[in-house]
Structure 1
Amino acid sequence: MLGAERSALSELVKMTAASQAERTVLEEEFNWLLKEEVHAVLKQLQEILKEASRRFSVPSPGLCEGQLKQENFILGSSTMDQVKGVLTLQGEALTQADINIKVAKSSQVMHFAFRDDKQWKLQQIQDARNHVNQALQLLSSRDESYTFKTGAEVNKLMDAVMLQLSRARNRLTTPASMTLPELAASGLVKMFTPPMPGDVMVNFYINLSKLCLTVYQLHVLQPNTTKNFKSAGSSVLHNPGAMFEYNNTKFEVSHVHKVECVVPWLNDTLVFFTISLQLCQQLKDKISVFSSFWNYRPF
């Protein structure tokens, strides 16, 4: 009996020693992760997001710093060429727009262009760029001389960076919903020469890596036809038949035309966001591996 107890005690000592050795190895690996690998990931993230930030403000060759390249995008429609246009994008602003709209009922072609003194800010691009720059500020607040002490500290930083990157991506992938009265009251309708007639509305927005133009043709609802009037809600894209009231007049959308084109550098930024979010998550996953095996130390 005594021999069996001694044998069991010996095994327990060996297991304890092995467990202690394992913990020592884990501690060394974890300290290396905090000291070396975290900073390597932060540096990689900064390089990727600096590239993303540059895409939002690429200067044209030969221009001074701060002067952005102008890019022209041709918009065409697959629906019998009802809408054609050329848009000029300079950073976050549409500086010129040249649009031809074929009126459905008369086949007459109307031509509109931005007034010389007007340009239209694309708030989605501006917001996305601001979120990228906030992510960069978070990363640069922990330079290589900084020592992370716990996994929780790393996770907190990664969560903050991922929040900004998710917001940046969402601004490009999720255009703002608008009601038709909001669109009618938008300053966009005052951008054009000649002025747009009251039965035409337009909207510009970003969807993923595409620059989109939507044209709504309207007709006025007569008082005797408004008994089934139901005002449309908020949407990115309204369908024919949608009704709304503006300036005490009721309208119905008769035709909708959407044309779009790919903006290559926006596609680049979305790829950068995806890669950066993956890097952040991978670092968090490594931290969680240590916390699951080494759960006596606070992470």
Structure 2
Amino acid sequence: MAAAMASAAERAVLEEEFKWLLQEEVHAVLKQLQDILKEASQRFTLPTSSSGGAVKQENFVLSTSGTDQVKGVLTLQGDALCQADVNLKMPRNNQLLHFAFREDKQWKLQQIQDARNHVNQAIYLLMNRDVNYQFKTGSEVLKLMDAVMLQLSRARNRLTTPATLTLPEIASSGLTNFKPAGGSILHNPGAMFEFGNQRYEVSHVHKVECVVPWLNDALVFFTVSLQLCQQLKDKISVFSSYWNYRPY
């Protein structure tokens, strides 16, 4: 009898703690997530020049580890790559080749636009409930966290694993003056392309990178937000281990 009473009392305490979690802590976490993601969203706000109106251009130095065969500078204007100058030193004779974007062309970075859209969708999901809204079940919270985490994961993945273009896609974009021969894939040794009425084959591949600080900031915000979502999910799931039926 005493054991049964103790069990009932313990369950009553747990149910009160779970009720407090749903009514108080969940909203506190949602507010924290909103603040973090609003900061992340501001990183995608395109800076304007001192004269106003036009989006400010930012220059970034391209680098590659362990070799100086590829050097260059690219210019980013918001979510568009508007200029790029690349010097390539040929491995056999050290001949220096220079490549540049056409002045009348820009390369829209779709992954930045997509990441921005996913962040805004996550913020919408978090703000879609009034501050006085009462969550009645843990399942309701878990579904919300899963939806938010899905948008954040998609945003992070778009920035960390950008898509590469095939040679036909680059040729059709008008960014360059060469055309592909066949359907070879970019970055694949053996790929063929034509330039200046001459046929060339890709023999070496060099990967160059540059650091864009405001995109790095956004990635940090995504990671912190995903951790907060998972922590809230874990707290709710812990309660299920104390009773056989699922109170959420």
**Same fold by TM (over 0.5)?**
yes
**Is 14-23 or 99-108 further displaced after alignment?**
99-108
Query: How many angstroms apart in 2 are the aligned matches of 1:108 and 1:288?
Result: 63
Specify the SS of the correspondent of 2:84: strand
Please say if 1:73 is aligned against 2:60.
yes
Name 1:158's counterpart in structure 2: 145
Query: How many angstroms apart in 2 are the aligned matches of 1:28 and 1:152?
Result: 17
Aligned residues: 245
Specify the SS of the correspondent of 1:258: coil
What residue ranges of structure 1 are gaps of 5+ in the alignment?
Answer: 1-12, 200-219, 221-229
Name 1:42's counterpart in structure 2: 30
Distance 1:115 1:253, change over 3 A: closer
Displacement of 1:191 after TM fit? Answer: 2.4
Query: How many angstroms apart in 2 are the aligned matches of 1:17 and 1:76?
Result: 69
Name 2:112's counterpart in structure 1: 125
Specify the SS of the correspondent of 1:159: helix
Q: Which is greater in Rg?
A: 1
Query: How many angstroms apart in 1 are the aligned matches of 2:98 and 2:39?
Result: 38
Amino acid at match of 1:44: Q
What residue ranges of structure 2 are gaps of 5+ in the alignment?
Answer: none
Please say if 1:21 is aligned against 2:5.
no
**Deviations 1:178-236, CA, capped at 9 Å, x for gaps:** 444444x341xx225xx4x558xxxxxxxxxxxxxxxxxxxx8xxxxxxxxx976x57x
**Deviations 1:121-159, CA, capped at 9 Å, x for gaps:** 111111111111111111111231111110000000000
Please say if 1:261 is aligned against 2:210.
yes
Amino acid at match of 1:37: E
Please say if 1:32 is aligned against 2:16.
no
Question: Where do residues 95-134 of structure 1 align in structure 2 (5 Å cutoff)?
Answer: 95-103=82-90, 107-134=94-121
Fraction of identical pairs, as percent:
69
Name 2:236's counterpart in structure 1: 287
Query: How many angstroms apart in 2 are the aligned matches of 1:134 and 1:41?
Result: 17
**Is 274-283 or 122-131 further displaced after alignment?**
122-131
Specify the SS of the correspondent of 1:85: strand
Amino acid at match of 1:30: F
TM-score, normalised relative to structure 2: 0.84
Query: How many angstroms apart in 1 are the aligned matches of 2:107 and 2:49?
Result: 24
Distance 1:17 1:96, change over 3 A: same
